Structure 1
Amino acid sequence: MMGLSHDMVVGIAKSFGLFYLIALSIGICLYAFWPRNRSRFNRAKYSILDDENGPLTGEEPR
C-alpha cells in the first residue's frame, strides 16, 4: 500500500479547492442571472432610493 506524501495531499487539496471555487462561481452566476430573480434584484436596486426625502443637510430628521 502506498502512503500519501505531503506533496500528493497538497496537490489534491489545491485541485479540489479550484474545482470547488469554479462550481461555486458558476452557481452564483446562475442565481444572479436567473430570470425569476430579476424582480427581486430590481427591487433591491431601487429600494435604497425609496426611503430618501432629499439630500442630507447635516441636521437631524424630524
Structure 2
Amino acid sequence: MSFDHDTVTAFAKSFGLFYLIAMSIGVVIYAYWPKNRKRFDHAANSIISDDEDRPCQ
C-alpha cells in the first residue's frame, strides 16, 4: 500500500475529527458526573470569600 500525501491527509483529518469528538464527550461526561459536583461547587465558591464580597471602601 502506498502512503501518498492525500491518503495520509485524509486519514489524519478523519482520525482527528473522531479524536476531538471523543475528547469532547469525555469532558462533558466528567463535568456533569454527579460525584464531581461537590468539587466544582467548592471551586466556584472558593474564589471569593464572604468578607471579600463587598465593594472596596
TM-score (norm 2): 0.85
Number of aligned residue pairs = 56
Q: Percent identity?
A: 57
Aligned to 1:33: 32
Structure 2 unpaired stretches of 5+? none
Q: Which has more radius of gyration?
A: 1
Query: How do 1:1-16 residues align onto structure 2 when only pairs under 5 Å count?
Result: 2-16=1-15
* CA shift for structure 1 position 54: 3.2
Q: Which amino acid aligns with 2:52?
A: E
**CA RMSD of superposed structures (Å):** 1.5
Q: Which 4+ runs in 1 deviate beyond 4 A?
A: none
Structure 1 unpaired stretches of 5+? 58-62
* CA shift for structure 1 position 53: 6.1
